[in-house]
Amino acid sequence: MFLHLIVLLIPVVTAACKKDVLNMCMDAKHHKTEPGPEGNLYGQCTPWKDNACCTTNTSSEAHKNESYLYNFNWNHCGAMSEKCLKHFIQDTCFYECSPNLGPWINETDTSWRKERITDVPLCQEDCDQWWDDCKNDQTCKENWHKGWDWTTGTNQCPKGTQCRPFTEVFPTPSDMCEKIWSNSYKYTTYKRKSNKCMQLWFDKGQNPNPPVTKHYAIQMGLIDGASSVQLMISAILGIPLLVLLLNLETF
């Protein structure tokens, strides 16, 4: 009986030792292995300083028009407006720094990352304001993940394309949020404080996203309401009980 109970316990211990889906970093180009405090995060990445998947240097590079992070040129169709650029920097900080993306992390096969996010549910206000602040800017592509001309070392509009207003390339906020990064994000009608959508950015203070992550992790069957730490404690506490049961069986 003792061996049988040990076998039953193994999956519990194994589950407890896996990455905590509520607090983890994806396996990507600039991400830390584990989230943790980063007291000197720069600019719009500052809100994640208490628990971040990005380093101080990554947060600083995220604010440059052409940084070493991905050599991506925001100004591929003329200078991007400051109010539009603000949202792309917030988007970069969210992607690089957030430790709350576990339920939406999936394996991928690219040269620069082994994992990516898909269908992260964004709050309606975040998408709507992003689209509205960029509506007078221009771009030549709806999918910014691929298809660029990289012959100069940075992304340029490919031959056969032309620069057009954002509102022509992305007629609605949902078009932009869902298409621009290959379905990394999902447009929702959920509002902030609903605990059902992720905020791309928040003022300094308490991160509003962990409850959202937990909600979806439970909904997706990734956790059962008990944290991995609780599972591990239960597993460890269960071992003396098993030993006791074994001793009782010998009498």
Q: How many domains does the chain have?
A: 2
Instruction: Assess whether 191 and 87 both reside in one domain.
Output: yes
Residue in 116, 39, 61, 88 with CA at minimum distance from that of residue 201? 88
162 and 90 within one domain:
yes
What does the pLDDT look like over 14-66, one tens digit per residue? 333 457 999 999 999 899 999 999 989 999 999 999 999 999 999 999 998 77
Task: Examine residue 138 and state whether it is found in any structural domain, yes or no.
Answer: yes
Residue 2 lies in a domain: yes
**Are 52 and 92 in the same domain?**
yes
**Contact present, 32 and 55 (Cβ < 8 Å):** yes
Contact 73, 153 (CB under 8 A): no
Residue 228 identity: S
Structural domain contains residue 220: no
Q: Are residues 80 and 1 in the same domain?
A: no
pTM reported for the whole predicted model: 0.82
Instruction: DSSP for 120-172, please give it.
Output: EEE-HHHHHHHHHHHTTSEES-S-TTS--B-TTSS-BPPTT---EEHHHH-SS
- Classify burial at 247, counting beta carbons within 10 Å of its beta carbon; exposed 0-12, middle 13-18, buried 19 or more: exposed
Summarised one tens digit per residue, pLDDT across range 179-209 is 999 999 999 999 999 999 999 999 877 899 9
Band of the pLDDT at 133, cuts 50, 70, 90? very high
Q: Are residues 34 and 1 in the same domain?
A: no
Cβ pair 69, 89 in contact under 8 A: no
Determine the structural domain holding residue 12 and report its residue range: 1-20+227-251
Report pLDDT for 226. 54
Residue 215 lies in a domain: no
70-96 per-position pLDDT tens digit: 999 999 999 999 999 999 999 999 999
**For the ranges 27-31, 65-69, 223-227, the one whose mean pLDDT is highest:** 27-31
Residues 121 and 243 in one domain: no
